[in-house]
Structure 1
Amino acid sequence: MSDAGTNPAPAPFARVAVVGGGAWGTALALIAARAGRRVALWVREPEAAAAAARSRHSPFLPDHAIPPEVTVTSDLAAALAGCGLALLVVPSQYLRAVARAVAPLLPPDVPVLVCSKGIEAGTGALMTEVAAAEMPGRPQAVLSGPSFAGEAAAGQPTAVTVASADAGRTADSLAARVAVTLGTETFRPYLSDDPVGVEVGGAVKNVLAIACGIAAGRGFGANPRAALIARGLAEMKRLAEALGGQWETVSGLSGLGDLTLTCSSEQSRNFSFGRALGAGQTAAAALAGKAAVVEGVANARSVTDLARRLAIAMPICEAVQAVLDGDVSVDEAMRALLTRPLAAEPRALGDVRLRHPTEPPDA
Structure 2
Amino acid sequence: MTIGIAGAGAFGTALAVALALDGKDIQLWARDGDAAEAIQTTRKNPKLPDVDLPAKITSSGALDALFACDTILLAIPAQTLPAFLTDHAVRLTGKTLVACCKGIDLKRMTGPASTIADLVPDAHPAMLTGPSFAADIARGLPTALTLACADDAKGEMLQNMLSTATLRLYRTTDTIGAELGGALKNVIAIASGVAMGARLGESARAALITRGFPEMQRLAEALGAEPDTLSGLSGLGDLVLTCTSDQSRNYRYGFALGRGEAFDTATTVEGAATARAVRQLADKLGLDMPISAVVADLTTGATDVPTALTALLSRPLKEE
Tell me which interval the TM-score lies in, with the shorter structure as reference length. Answer: over 0.9
Equivalent of 2:66 in 79, 86, 98: 79
The alignment's C-alpha RMSD in Å is: 1.3
The answer for the alignment partner of 1:349 in structure 2 is: none
Q: Which has the larger radius of gyration?
A: 1
The answer for the alignment partner of 1:340 in structure 2 is: 315
The runs of 5 or more residues in structure 2 that have no matched partner are: none
Code of the residue aligned with 2:80 in structure 1: it is Y
Counterparts in 2 of 1:232-271, with a 5 A limit? 232-271=212-251
SS at match of 1:109: coil
Matched, 1:37 2:24: yes
Matched, 1:160 2:140: no
Code of the residue aligned with 1:286 in structure 2: it is F
The answer for the alignment partner of 2:130 in structure 1 is: 145
CA contact (8 A) 1:103 1:134 kept: yes
Q: CA deviation at 1:33?
A: 1.2
Aligned-partner Cα distance in 1 for 2:163–2:242? 23
Query: What is the TM-score normalised by the length of structure 2?
Result: 0.96
Code of the residue aligned with 2:53 in structure 1: it is I
SS at match of 1:40: strand
Q: CA deviation at 1:244?
A: 0.5
The answer for the alignment partner of 2:81 in structure 1 is: 95
Q: CA deviation at 1:77?
A: 1.6
CA contact (8 A) 1:140 1:174 kept: no
CA contact (8 A) 2:126 2:148 kept: yes
Runs of 4+ in structure 1 over 6 Å off: none
Aligned-partner Cα distance in 2 for 1:111–1:313? 37
Counterparts in 2 of 1:112-261, with a 5 A limit? 112-167=97-152, 173-261=153-241
Equivalent of 2:304 in 329, 335, 355: 329
SS at match of 1:21: coil
Could you report, residue by residue, the CA deviation over 1:66-95 in whole angstroms, capped at 9, with x for unpaired residues?
Answer: 1110110011121221x2311111000000
Aligned-partner Cα distance in 2 for 1:114–1:102? 15
The answer for the alignment partner of 1:314 in structure 2 is: 289
Aligned-partner Cα distance in 2 for 1:103–1:38? 24
Could you report, residue by residue, the CA deviation over 1:279-308 in whole angstroms, capped at 9, with x for unpaired residues?
Answer: 122xxx2234xx431111211111211221
Aligned-partner Cα distance in 1 for 2:319–2:149? 34
Query: What is the TM-score normalised by the length of structure 1?
Result: 0.85
Q: CA deviation at 1:43?
A: 0.3
The answer for the alignment partner of 2:277 in structure 1 is: 302
Could you report, residue by residue, the CA deviation over 1:186-245 in whole angstroms, capped at 9, with x for unpaired residues?
Answer: 110001111111111111111111100000011122211111111111011001100110
CA contact (8 A) 2:114 2:176 kept: no
